[in-house]
Amino acid sequence: MPMARLGLVVTSDRIYRRKARDENLETLKEGLKTRHDVELEFYYTVPNDPSLIKTIVDEASRSCDIVIVTGGTGVSPRDVTVDALSELARKEVKSIADLLRIKSLDEVGEKAFISRASAFIVRNAIVVAIPGNPGSLRILLGILDKLLRHLTEELKGTTKTHLL
């Protein structure tokens, strides 16, 4: 049995309308090849519609321990993911997004700090909203690789050790 069940929700008008190809699913599958304790349980693509984003993420959070939401974290009018998730969430976990921005500095420079990447608790799942590019997903997978066990134990109430 996997330690964590993972969901991927891609928010993109272009990918939803099949005018662009989703590279994140392949990036995620590649990143999970060596992880036998994580299973991809849920995958869905939605347009940049706050109501649909909330509905799909809520559904994913029912069966997944971690839900990664790609896209919609910028500052343009169509970037609505973070706003939708903040309405759905019961808590925000700011430090995960801060770490993502810091680790993104080498790849994208100061532009990393324009991102509104965020992490939330929805039901008993950690939901992380990241930019829609595969580089952000690779960086997040590296972060989760180190935090996954502790995060899932915390959310399940089975933590044996404390970080601080």
DSSP letters for 68-130: EEES--SSSTT--HHHHHHHH-SEE-HHHHHHHHHHHHHHHGGGGGT---EEEEETTEEEEEE
Q: Is residue 161 part of a domain?
A: no
Q: Which residues contact 97 (CB under 8 A, 6 or more apart)?
A: 117, 118, 119, 128, 129
The tally of domains found in the chain comes to: 1
Q: Is residue 162 part of a domain?
A: no
Q: Is residue 163 part of a domain?
A: no
Rounded Cα distance between 72 and 81, Å, is: 5
Q: Is residue 127 part of a domain?
A: yes
Q: Is residue 164 part of a domain?
A: no
pLDDT in tens, the chain (164 residues): 567 899 999 999 999 999 999 999 999 999 888 877 889 999 999 999 999 999 999 999 999 999 999 999 999 999 999 999 999 999 999 999 999 999 998 888 888 888 999 999 999 999 999 999 999 999 999 998 888 878 888 887 776 665 55
Domain limits at 89?
4-156
Q: Is residue 118 part of a domain?
A: yes
Q: Is residue 148 part of a domain?
A: yes
Here the tokens at position 2 are 């996997």
How much is the pTM? 0.92
What CATH number corresponds to the domain at position 83? 3.40.980.10
